């Protein structure tokens, strides 16, 4: 009997220490049945089974590969995935070789997709939603060279798409983009227990939140025949111009100007939107660019409007704020560089665990009934999801 107990305890310990680090952000905490996490149906097929004439392949590294693989399996047009070690300096590296740094390989996800259904550009847009593209050798709780971000191509066309995409998003961030763009020199499939890990271990660790998985399920690339396009599910790029300082002073109230331009903070519970429950969107009060959806707003009891995420992470830039003897993360609108508020990690776990604490004075609310007439009709489908 004691021998059986010993074997069981040893198995539990091994499950905790093998693979990526674990924390409370379990992928399946909120899932109700197996059907909630089944995605790509070609589980019994191998990479070699897919014709290169019909399908394209890209390898992406975005931290722990368990969650990244599951995320991309949900996206319409992705027909196959597996996980492995990219650009290793040693032959046939093991997971131990990768985690020790001996191989210098990164944890990658090999994605086979149908270009008639989903484009590489769209895949990259979905990719940057679940990583911090400015973080070097770290994603979530995972730290090390093997967790670096990267786009690994095997054709000049893929290289050009990747380079153009990175150039396009670079202006949205204060820090330089840390995603490496390199040819696939080699790729070794990871051990079997890493493949489809979250299907086998639905309560396993993942640095990607449930909200992002839900977004992947709904993601559709309706213009996949075009390489350069804006996806339907995110704000279509309009020219949201930042008014001059003189125009801002005449357009904004004193409080709005002080908050957005001088980094002031309004009073809690005495601002316009802290308790607003109406459906609609919240736009940058200075430029009109849409930033947050009402469905992502929650009651944080802080007295300020709180959101679990922006409409698109590229709309927000963050930086360290050491004012008032504290160290916090300031968030600004990337389009206008206007101060919005601060970012905290005490938000709802089921929505990713983040809280965007935003000043009402930095926002303008557009109710659902007026979105079409004010030019935001393309976001209506996101309000009703």
Query: What is the DSSP track for 189-203?
Result: EPPGGGTTHHHH-TT
What's the pLDDT at 239? 62
- Residue 225: burial class (beta carbons within 10 Å; 0-12, 13-18, 19+): exposed
Bridge-based pairing state of the strands 297-298 and 290-293? unpaired
What's the pLDDT at 109? 97
Using one digit for the tens of pLDDT, what is the confidence trace for 196-225? 988 888 877 777 888 888 888 988 886 544
Quick check: 165 pLDDT over 50?
Answer: yes
Using one digit for the tens of pLDDT, what is the confidence trace for 318-342? 888 787 788 889 999 988 899 999 9
What's the pLDDT at 41? 58
Spatial separation of the C-alpha atoms in residues 346 and 300, rounded to whole Å: 9
What's the pLDDT at 204? 75
What's the pLDDT at 326? 82
Quick check: 308 pLDDT over 60?
Answer: yes
Quick check: 272 pLDDT over 60?
Answer: yes
For 81-99, what is the mean pLDDT? 95
pTM for this model (two decimals) = 0.54
In the chain, residues under CATH classification 3.30.1060.10 are 17-218
61, 64, 78, 216: the catalytic one is 64
What's the pLDDT at 14? 42
For 358-370, what is the mean pLDDT? 94
Q: What percent of the chain has pLDDT over 70?
A: 83
**What residues contact 77, with CB distance under 8 A and at least 6 apart?**
113, 114, 116, 117, 118, 221, 224
Report the mean per-residue pLDDT for the chain.
83
Smallest Cα–Cα separation from 81: which of 180, 199, 184?
199
Among 84-88, 124-128, 173-177, the range scoring the smallest mean pLDDT is: 173-177
What's the pLDDT at 236? 45
Domain 17-218 = CATH 3.10.520.10: no
Under CATH, to which class is 245-383 assigned?
Answer: mainly beta
In the chain, residues under CATH classification 2.170.150.20 are 245-383
Using one digit for the tens of pLDDT, what is the confidence trace for 24-46? 344 444 433 333 444 565 667 78
Quick check: 234 pLDDT over 60?
Answer: no
Bridge-based pairing state of the strands 355-358 and 187-189? unpaired
Is 357 among the catalytic positions?
yes
Q: What percent of the chain has pLDDT over 90?
A: 56
If you compute the radius of gyration of the chain from its CA atoms, what whole number of angstroms results? 22
Using one digit for the tens of pLDDT, what is the confidence trace for 105-156? 999 999 999 998 999 999 999 999 999 999 999 988 889 999 999 999 999 9
What's the pLDDT at 24? 39
Spatial separation of the C-alpha atoms in residues 356 and 292, rounded to whole Å: 10
Quick check: 63 pLDDT over 50?
Answer: yes
Q: Which residue has the higher pLDDT, 55 or 50?
A: 55
Quick check: 6 pLDDT over 60?
Answer: no
109, 120, 357, 371: the catalytic one is 357
């Amino acid at each position: 009997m004691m021998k059986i107990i010993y074997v069981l305890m040893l198995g539990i310990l091994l499950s905790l220490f093998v693979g990526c680090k674990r924390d409370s952000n379990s992928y399946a905490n909120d899932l109700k049945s197996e059907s909630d996490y089944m995605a790509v149906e070609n589980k019994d097929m191998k990479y070699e089974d897919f014709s290169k004439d019909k399908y394209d392949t890209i390898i992406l590294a975005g931290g722990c590969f368990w969650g990244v693989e599951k995320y991309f399996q949900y996206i319409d047009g992705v027909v196959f995935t597996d996980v492995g070690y990219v650009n290793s300096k040693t032959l046939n590296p093991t997971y131990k070789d990768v985690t020790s740094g001996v191989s210098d390989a990164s944890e990658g996800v090999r994605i086979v997709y149908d270009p008639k259904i989903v484009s590489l550009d769209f895949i990259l847009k979905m990719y940057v939603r679940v990583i911090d593209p400015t973080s070097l050798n770290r994603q979530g709780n995972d730290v090390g060279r093997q967790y670096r971000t990267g786009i690994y191509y095997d054709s000049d066309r893929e290289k050009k798409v990747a380079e153009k995409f990175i150039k396009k998003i670079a202006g949205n961030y204060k820090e330089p983009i840390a995603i490496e763009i390199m040819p696939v020199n080699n790729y070794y499939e990871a051990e079997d227990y890493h493949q489809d890990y979250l299907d086998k271990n639905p309560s396993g660790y993942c640095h990607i939140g449930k909200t992002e998985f839900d977004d992947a399920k709904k993601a559709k690339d309706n213009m996949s025949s075009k390489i350069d396009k804006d996806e339907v599910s995110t704000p279509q790029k309009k020219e949201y111009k930042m008014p001059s300082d003189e125009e801002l002073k005449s357009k904004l109230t004193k409080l709005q100007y002080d908050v957005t331009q001088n980094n002031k903070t309004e009073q809690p519970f005495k601002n316009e939107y802290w308790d607003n429950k109406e459906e609609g969107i919240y736009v940058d009060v200075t430029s009109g660019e849409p930033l947050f959806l009402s469905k992502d707003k929650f009651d944080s009891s802080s007295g300020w409007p709180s959101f679990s995420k922006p409409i698109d992470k590229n709309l927000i830039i963050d930086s360290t704020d050491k004012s008032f003897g504290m160290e916090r993360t300031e968030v600004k609108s990337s389009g206008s560089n206007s101060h919005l508020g601060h970012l905290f990690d005490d938000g709802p776990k089921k929505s990713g665990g983040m809280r965007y604490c935003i000043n009402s004075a930095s926002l303008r609310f557009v109710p659902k009934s007026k979105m079409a007439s004010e030019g935001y009709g393309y976001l209506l489908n996101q309000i009703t999801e």
